[in-house]
Structures are given as structure tokens and as C-alpha cells.
Amino acid sequence: MSEPSTERRRQYPFHQIEPKWQQYWEEHKTYRMPNPGEHGFDPSKPKYYVLDMFPYPSGDGLHVGHPEGYTATDIVSRYRRKQGWNVLHPMGWDAFGLPAEQYAIKTGQHPSITTGRNVNRFRSQLKRLGFCYDWDREINTTDPEYYRWTQWIFLQIYNSYFDESTKTARPVSELEAQGLSREEIDARRLAYVAEVQVNWCPGLGTVLANEEVVDGKSEVGGFPVERRPLRQWMLRITAYGDRLGDELEDLDWPEGIKRHQREWIGRSEGAEVKFSIDGRDDSITVFTTRPDTLFGATYMVLAPEHALVDSITTPDQKAAVEAYRQQVASKSDMERTALAKVKTGVATGGYAINPVNGERIPIWIADYVLISYGTGAIMAVPAHDDRDHEFATQFGLPIREVVQAPAGNTEQCFTGDGISINSPLMDGLPTQEAKRKITAWLEERALGRKTINYKLRDWLFARQRYWGEPFPVIWRDGKHEALPESELPVIPPPLEDYKPSGTAEAPLSKATDWVRYSDHAQRETNTMPQWAGSCWYYLRFTDARNNSRFAGEDAERYWMGHNHKPGGVDLYVGGTEHAVLHLLYARFWHKVLYDLGYVSTPEPFQKLVNQGLILGEDGQKMSKSRGNVINPDHVIAEYGADSLRLFEMFMGPLEQVKPWSTKGVEGVYRFLGRVWRLFMESADEGDTYTLSPKVQDANAPMPLLKVLHETIRKVGADVEAMAFNTAISQMMICTNELTSAEVRPVSVLATFLHLLNPYAPHLSEELYSLLHANFPSLPAGPLSELPWPKFEEKYLIEDTIEVVLQVNGKVRGKLEVPANMDAEALKALALSSDRTQEHIAGKEVRNVIVVPKRLVNIVVK
């Protein structure tokens, strides 16, 4: 019975081949990678750790963006394995998160049930793509056996402080030994509790994470979000600001991402300067990066929320100040920033004294000064700061120039480096020297000191959510207390009702039995943010089933160390959306663990590659509402997994943004069909195939050997460079060559299958096993376990080469010459050639440029 007429005939029987090999791999655990000391581990091989950013298993299943990066790492893994490396290539699930919780709110079903269902779907989809993951190492961040260690790491952070002298984390027990008080120690822990401004969303009745707020509105529902102070757990990531910036240096990351992280950290050096308040004992400290402009400070600005505002404000300004503060408080972040085209503010009526010249300057409040950065107060130098300039112009405040711009400067408000003027202490000094001098002057008089500030804020680590890791912490008499390790994991109780409470209380607070730890102690009811689980998952992969440590020491040292580089994971591939947060948070945790001696490298990820977004066929971002979403399941059903893999790699460079093309999938599908027909032919219209009579155990002719060895060379070099698209082009060229050959030597075909194997593992395995069945002298498979072929230089060397003849840079002819012809001979030959003679006749030859093996350019006049 032939195929139904409506269905096109398959290029090759991928629908039989692919499940067959997937089953084989599963049954034989082909891709299981033992750890050091385990049976089957070969310590003589070098290690290579290839990691994908693990997915959040959403209810929608895999989209075509996932297999892009996953195929790239799969190719690299298979290639390295064939090259004789021990390759660690694992997969898991970042499964805590909002959608599962939202679904639970709607249905009352525990999130672990939906999560389990989604994970099963994702896993089977990934298996259908033929990826060579070691599934014995699969992890799930919502598994208590996993998050017990997430909680354990939190305890290590909680029990540490940052030692400024060594710039490392140290156990707080050292502070206890020094006799510090409970309060002093708590104030220095890397995990601490603070009252901070959070995003409160009245519409949803809950607190939102920063990343859940878009343009001042909730990402879900689009309700307005306001700031509100709340008691929160914080992680002291700012302590690591310098190291997180400096230690990017030796990582093989895209420069753009490194820059992005450095900007995010936003280190800036400057000085804190104390201004006394006129007529009071108090003082206000400001932060400035330009202490050299102190003589140009003509007013001062406090953030509206600044603690001293009330006491400074004079009675006649009280009403105006109150009204302004009211107005600012009611503004969302969006209104405060995006719409802040025009500066606003009011005078407090109070005055400060400039410490360098005793001048009395007015104190204003304005929302262009942020309470959360620096000291929440600035000295305004309108002549040399754009924002101050704008404000001063608007409110008619004096502008005094104290830096002379270099000649030719036309800017009204000069913000660059120049020479100090009108500044008695530093007149004539260039900016950098002036800064040093005035800072020293201030320090001598205890009026200020050198300071470093960061844009980076401490990490707000608590969420008022159900579906996240509970904190291993209890509260007794209003004080927090770590639970002992023996009580891990702390498992959240099931709830009747997962809805947010409507107050700022976390959902867990509704489980009263669970919350009550003892007569005098209650459990912490906040949970950790989704980032927590992904901060260390790469470590768990090194020893995923260890139940006495987050990962065994030997396994961690082998997979993360051993490459003499700062980063442990050799290759990490994922999307740019994690350029800052995930990568910064993971680096922070890793450094704490490194300082405490738990891991062997200072950095988690040595080489980072970002895959580019795949757009819809219309060139727009894929989205349900546009209706341009491509479902990988459908692509696999119609063309097979090998075609999907191959197309995703053939579309263009991995890092680039590129549109989907169904026609393009058909193109690579046809290519795989051509490869199939190099080996097999079919007599009827069905799925019965026999070996092609052109496949023979014969000596390969030179032209075939040449293209084959060129293909070995190019495909190998391109995998190393992750230029998969051009590797595929070369394999197409090789296939076209073989298609037109009358005889297809077995040795050439077998070698070609090795090259194709990382890209199209199912088809290549099948053809190899068919070939081996007919020619038993070939090494027995599976192909993926056989060594990668080596190219031989002798087949690449050309006897004769084509040299281009140019006259005045224009191509006028070509010459076939022996490859070893020297420059002089080439020059003589070029000058006497008929083709060049036509163009140089009657003209003066002024110069002849000879580029051996490439071209001769004759310059005439």
C-alpha cells in the first residue's frame, strides 16, 4: 500500500530511523558520562563541560528558540566526544515560578502537579530532537533533594560576612570570636533583613519583583505599581561589586555582555563631603564624583524622601514642601523618570554651608535626586553638570564656572576634564589632580573622604510567593535564626488556597500549623526568588545524585577545575535576556562559595555565547497574538528532527537574529534526502530501500579525496569557531560532488558520515549501520562512539593554482600556474600575458604588485 496521494513522499524514512536510534541511545545509555572514580571513567581524557541555560518548563512546551542553542551545544558535545574528551552535557528544569502558581490559584491544584506534567512534556520533546544529554544527571529546582542545597547555600551566605581587608567572604563565627554583638554581626551578614521600598501592586494585592514591573505597571494585568516600605531579606551583592567587575577580565564572554555587566555594577569613584546646616548642629553628607567643582556648588538638593527634610524646612516653606513630597509619592516610577522631561522641585527654606569657602547655599528638594543612590543628597554644580544646569536654569539659581574647558569647547555646560578656576585651593590644576588635592584637604579636616559608589543595589531576595524555596530561617522574639542543616530541606506545606492574601503577607502565612515552629518561634514565610535555583545548578550537574553534599568534592574539582582558567564551565550557551541578572547572581553565589572553600574556581562560566533570537516567517518577533509561532513538533512530524536541527544551524550565524523560513527547512530536508540517496535507492514508491550499486569498496579518486579532506578540515574548524552554517554548506558541496560520482567509495562515504554525525545524528547512525552491514570490515558502531576523522594535508595541496591578473586594480584575466611559482617568475609571466598586454600596451608600467598564490596587479599610466 503506497502513501496517501495527499501526502508528499518522504525524502527518506526519518519517521522510522529517528525513534529507532532514540530508543537505542536510551537503552544503551550511550551518553551517560561517569564521574571520576566511577566505573567506565577514563581519567586520561581531557574534560569539557558544555552547558545550556536550562529552561523554565512552561505549559506551552518547547518553542523553536530552544533547539537553536541546544543544537549548537549538542554538536559541540558530539564533536568533542568523538575527539576523545570526557564531555559533561546535562539538562534540567528551572521549575519554580509564577505561571505554575497562577494556575494553582485558578484550579487549586498543587503547582508540583502542573510542573511535573510540563517537565515530562519538555523532556520528551528534547528526546525527540536527539540531544546527547546525560539524563542520569537531570535536575529539577523544585525537587526537595535539589532545593535542600539551595537552602544550604543560603545558610552559608547567611553565616558569612565580607572581610574588606581580604575582599573575601568569611564565616561570621570569626566576628563572634572577636566579641561582636548580635546586632553588629547581623549588620554585617551577607544575608540580612532590612526595611526597603518594594513594588506594591494594589491591583493584584501583592508585592512584585522588579522584573515583574514593566514601565511602572505590573507585567501581569497592567495594574499600576507603587513603592512601599516592607521588611525584606537582602543579599549583600554590593560587597562583591569590585570583584564582579574586575574578574570579568579573563572570561571569554562577548565584550557587549561584559560591558553591560560593568555598567550595571556602575562603580564610580568620588568623595563624600559634609556640609553643615546653617543655624543647626546637624550636617548633610553628599556624594560627588567631582569634588574638584566644590567651589561651583551654588545650591544643594536632597531627595524628597531624605530623612532631614522635615527638620530643615522653614515654616513658610512647609506647605510647599509637603505638597511636593505628596505629589512625588503618588507618582509611579514611570512618571518619575520617563516623563521627567521637565525638572521639578521646591526650596526648603534651609541653607547649608559650603565647607571650602563658608558660603551659604540654599537647600532644595527635587525628585531628580534619588534616595537610593549615594547619600540621597547632592551638591549642585550647574556649570558642570547637565542635570544641575537644567534645574538651575529653570529656577533661576546662580551658575558659577569653576572648570576651564579646553580651547574649542562649545558646550554651554561643560562636563569634561579641564583646568580648575575660581577655586582658591586648586586654581590652575587639571581635573584629576584637583580631585586628589581637594579630597586630601577634606580628609585632613574630617570634612569628607574618598568613597566608591555603585549603581548595583543589594539583591532583594524575598518574594511573597508560594511556589519558591522557603527560607531555612525561623523568628524567635523578633530575631531571625538559621535552622540547623539537619532540618533541611524545608518543604512548603500544601495550601487550600494559593491566592495572595491581599495584604503584604506571603501566602505561606496562611499555613498556620506550618508557620508555628515552636511555642516561641515561627517560620519565615517569604520564599526565594526564581533566580535562586539557577544560581548554582551547574554545580549540581557535576554530581546530581549526591545526597550528602551539594556536589562531591572530586566531581566538582574535575568538572569545574582542570582547565587552568578562572571559569569552570567550558562553554555556556543561552539568550541575551540573562546578560545581567542571572549571570551576575550566579557569579556572586559562586564567589561566596569559592571564598568559603567549597568550589575550585573563582568564576562559574569561562566561555559564554548568546544565540540570536529566531523571528517568525514575517520577520516579526514570534508571538501567539501575531499568529507566527512555529511549533517544533509539527516541523519534526513533517521533516524529522535532523532537518529541524540542521535548519536551525543553517539559517545563519548562531549569535544573529534571523527569521524562520519553512522553505529553508525544506532545503536542508532535501539535502538530507540527497545524502540518503548517496547510499540507498528504492525500487518502488514505498519505504523499501536497497544499497545503491554505486556504493563500492573501491579506491577513491583524487578529486573526491580532495573535496572530502577539505570537508574534514572545514567542518572541524567551523565547529571550533561555532560557525555551523558554513560547516553545513561545505557538507552540501561534498554531497553534490559525491552525487555526481559514478562510483562512491565506501571509505569516503563512511568518513563523510562521521562529519555529518554531530549535526544529523539519527540519519548518520542509520546509514553507518547499513554501510557496516554491507561492508563488515568497517569499524563497528555506534558512529557517535567512533573517533573523529583527521584530514591529510597532502590531499589539500594544489599542484596548480589560478592567479588573478589585474591592471590598475581591475581584473583583466586569469592564469593557471604551478603552485610553487616564485614572485619574479609570476611577475614576468603576468607582464607577457596576452590579456594584460591588451591593457598595458602603449602605457608606462609604474609598479607591479605580486601577491604569491593570489594575484598580480600591474599599475600603469
Least Å from the CB of residue 670 to RNA? 4
Residue 817 near RNA by CB under 7 A: no
Least Å from the CB of residue 674 to RNA? 5
One residue of 623, 739, 774, 837 binding RNA per CB under 7 A: 739
Residue 448 near RNA by CB under 7 A: no
Least Å from the CB of residue 550 to RNA? 31
Cα distances (Å, whole numbers) of residue 448 to 180, 268, 287, 589: 27, 16, 10, 34
Stretch that binds RNA, among 195-203, 334-342, 480-488, 589-597 (CB under 7 A): 334-342
Helix (H) or strand (E) holding 515: helix 512-515
One residue of 57, 376, 468, 745 binding RNA per CB under 7 A: 376
Residue 20 near RNA by CB under 7 A: no
Measure the CA–CA gap between 48 and 572, rounded to whole angstroms: 11
Give the total residue count for the chain.
Answer: 861
Residue 11 near RNA by CB under 7 A: yes
One residue of 20, 455, 480, 565 binding RNA per CB under 7 A: 455
Measure the CA–CA gap between 374 and 452, rounded to whole angstroms: 9
Residues in 98-127 at the binding interface with RNA, rule: CB under 7 A: none
Residues in 613-672 at the binding interface with RNA, rule: CB under 7 A: 621, 650-653, 656-659, 661, 663-664, 666-668, 670-671
Q: What is the 3-state secondary structure (H, E, C) of 92-114?
A: EECCCCHHHHHHHHHHCCCHHHH
Residue 449 near RNA by CB under 7 A: no
Decide: 409 and 400 in contact? Cβ < 8 Å. no
Residue 258 near RNA by CB under 7 A: no
Alpha helices in 368-421 (DSSP H): 386-395
Residue 276 near RNA by CB under 7 A: no
Measure the CA–CA gap between 293 and 307, rounded to whole angstroms: 26
Least Å from the CB of residue 832 to RNA? 17
One residue of 180, 204, 220, 804 binding RNA per CB under 7 A: 804
Stretch that binds RNA, among 165-173, 509-517, 525-533, 850-858 (CB under 7 A): 850-858
Residues in 82-101 at the binding interface with RNA, rule: CB under 7 A: none
Least Å from the CB of residue 701 to RNA? 17
> Which residues have C-beta within 8 Å of that of residue 265, sequence separation ≥ 6?
241, 244, 245, 454, 455, 456, 584
One residue of 248, 308, 369, 830 binding RNA per CB under 7 A: 369
- Give 549 or 670: the residue with its C-beta nearer to RNA: 670
- Give 251 or 651: the residue with its C-beta nearer to RNA: 651
Angle formed at CA 819 by CA 814 and CA 824, multiple of 5 degrees: 75
Stretch that binds RNA, among 149-157, 332-340, 626-634, 766-774 (CB under 7 A): 332-340
One residue of 338, 797, 819, 828 binding RNA per CB under 7 A: 338
Answer whether the bond into residue 489 is a cis peptide, omega within 30°: yes
One residue of 35, 140, 141, 288 binding RNA per CB under 7 A: 288
Measure the CA–CA gap between 143 and 122, rounded to whole angstroms: 16
34 secondary structure, DSSP code: P
Residue 399 near RNA by CB under 7 A: no
Residue 859 near RNA by CB under 7 A: yes
- How many CB atoms within 10 Å of residue 790? 11
Least Å from the CB of residue 263 to RNA? 7
Measure the CA–CA gap between 35 and 540, rounded to whole angstroms: 13
Least Å from the CB of residue 733 to RNA? 5
Least Å from the CB of residue 377 to RNA? 7
Decide: 471 and 528 in contact? Cβ < 8 Å. yes
- Give 449 or 545: the residue with its C-beta nearer to RNA: 449
Residue 9 near RNA by CB under 7 A: yes
3-state secondary structure (DSSP) of residue 148: helix
- Give 10 or 20: the residue with its C-beta nearer to RNA: 10
Outline where DSSP puts E strands in 369-492: 377-380, 403-404, 419-420, 448-453, 459-460, 473-476, 479-482
Residue 549 near RNA by CB under 7 A: no
Decide: 369 and 388 in contact? Cβ < 8 Å. no
Residue 357 near RNA by CB under 7 A: no
Measure the CA–CA gap between 434 and 417, rounded to whole angstroms: 10
